[in-house]
Amino acid sequence: MQHSGVLKNQPAREKASLRLDRRRLVSGAMAGMTTACTIFVVALLVIIIGYIAARGLSSLSFQFLIDTPKPVGEGGGIGNAILGSFLITTLASVMGMPIGIAAGVYLAEYGDGWFGRIVRFVADTMAGVPSIIVGIFVFTAVVLPMGRQSGLAGSIALAIIMLPIVARTTEEMIRLVPTSMREGALALGAPNWRVAWDIVLPAAKAGIATGAMLAVARISGETAPLLFTALNSRFYNFYLDQPMASLTVQIFNYATGPFEVEWQMAWAATLILVSLILVINVIVRFLTRRRF
């Protein structure tokens, strides 16, 4: 009788073994596919950066980094564009990040109602709006009343582009904070705003900072809104109510020029822009890394 029971259980064991082997095969195949995709993405990034470096290094010099654009054959550089991009991006971050982070906290903590769903839908829609539309909107709402393009108008356009990215990434990072941390603080008698400020935000700061830097990287590469709003300037300019140069617009001007020397300067300026974004991300990663 015992031998008969073993024989009856043998087909079930074989089926279970086949299912286990199938799961292992599928798991291995998926792991291989994800590894291959990761290698492909990293290799593509390295190729792009390497190509930009190969084309732009020959035109890099200290004079190029501090000089202003000049007629062809007289040198020239991107010093004014570096300063302009720094001022415009900094002001856009000062305007966009606090509002975006506050909106993300609201969506994560109180955004389950109808108003939160509307805000979330608007943020998702804004994230998909072409940047040139934002540039036209700011041109109509800010530039025309002011009577001229300005660095301030460019910063407002970039801040609008930044807002939905920061808000949605902040919301997702806050939702990853364990509920037990909130419940523990609430059990000790802390009000909701205190829990969000002292518990939730510090726990999610690395993810929030990463999302903010993604937004900075996004606006740092925008050209169309600045063509409508900040325009350009061939000189150093510290006044935000005046037209202001930027790296992206300067790259556009050099790249569309008729001379090869301008194309080389466009590659060099592109290399500077990519390097600045990389340095910013590395610094933020270092400052927000988890300490155990």
pLDDT digits (tens, 9 = 90+) for 28-46: 889 999 999 999 999 998 9
pLDDT band at residue 260 under the 50/70/90 scheme? confident
Residues 129 and 22 in one domain: no
Residues 87 and 48 in one domain: no
> Is residue 283 one of the residues assigned to a domain?
yes
Residues 32 and 155 in one domain: no
pLDDT band at residue 291 under the 50/70/90 scheme? very low
**CA distance to 135, 136, 201, per residue, from 166 (Å):** 19, 22, 14
Per the prediction, the chain carries an average pLDDT of 87
Q: Chain centroid to CA 166: how far?
A: 9
Residues 13 and 88 in one domain: no
Residues 169 and 226 in one domain: yes
Residues 95 and 127 in one domain: yes
Residue in the block written with tokens 């050099």: 254
pLDDT band at residue 287 under the 50/70/90 scheme? low
Residues 47 and 67 in one domain: no
Question: Which two structure tokens, joined as six digits, stand for 147?
Answer: 């009577």
pLDDT band at residue 159 under the 50/70/90 scheme? very high
Residues 196 and 52 in one domain: no
Residues 192 and 54 in one domain: no
- pLDDT tens for 81-128 read 999 999 999 999 999 999 999 999 999 888 888 898 999 999 999 988
Domain containing 124 equals 62-287
Phi, psi of 19 (to 5 degrees): -65, -40
Question: Which two structure tokens, joined as six digits, stand for 52?
Answer: 């930009």
pLDDT of residue 292: 36
Q: Which helix (H) or strand (E) holds 56?
A: helix 2-56
Interatomic CA distance for residues 186 and 27, integer angstroms: 41
3-state secondary structure of 256: coil
Residues 10 and 80 in one domain: no
> Is residue 292 one of the residues assigned to a domain?
no
Domain boundary among 17, 35, 59: 59
> Is residue 96 one of the residues assigned to a domain?
yes
Domain boundary among 44, 59, 74: 59
- Residues 74-108: b if buried by 16+ CB within 10 A, e if exposed: eebbbbbbbbbbebbbebbbebbbeebbebbbbbb
* CB-based contact 249:232 (threshold 8 Å): yes
> Is residue 159 one of the residues assigned to a domain?
yes
Q: Is the pLDDT of residue 4 over 80?
A: no
3-state secondary structure of 288: coil
Report how many domains make up the chain.
Answer: 2
Interatomic CA distance for residues 68 and 80, integer angstroms: 6
* CB-based contact 67:224 (threshold 8 Å): no
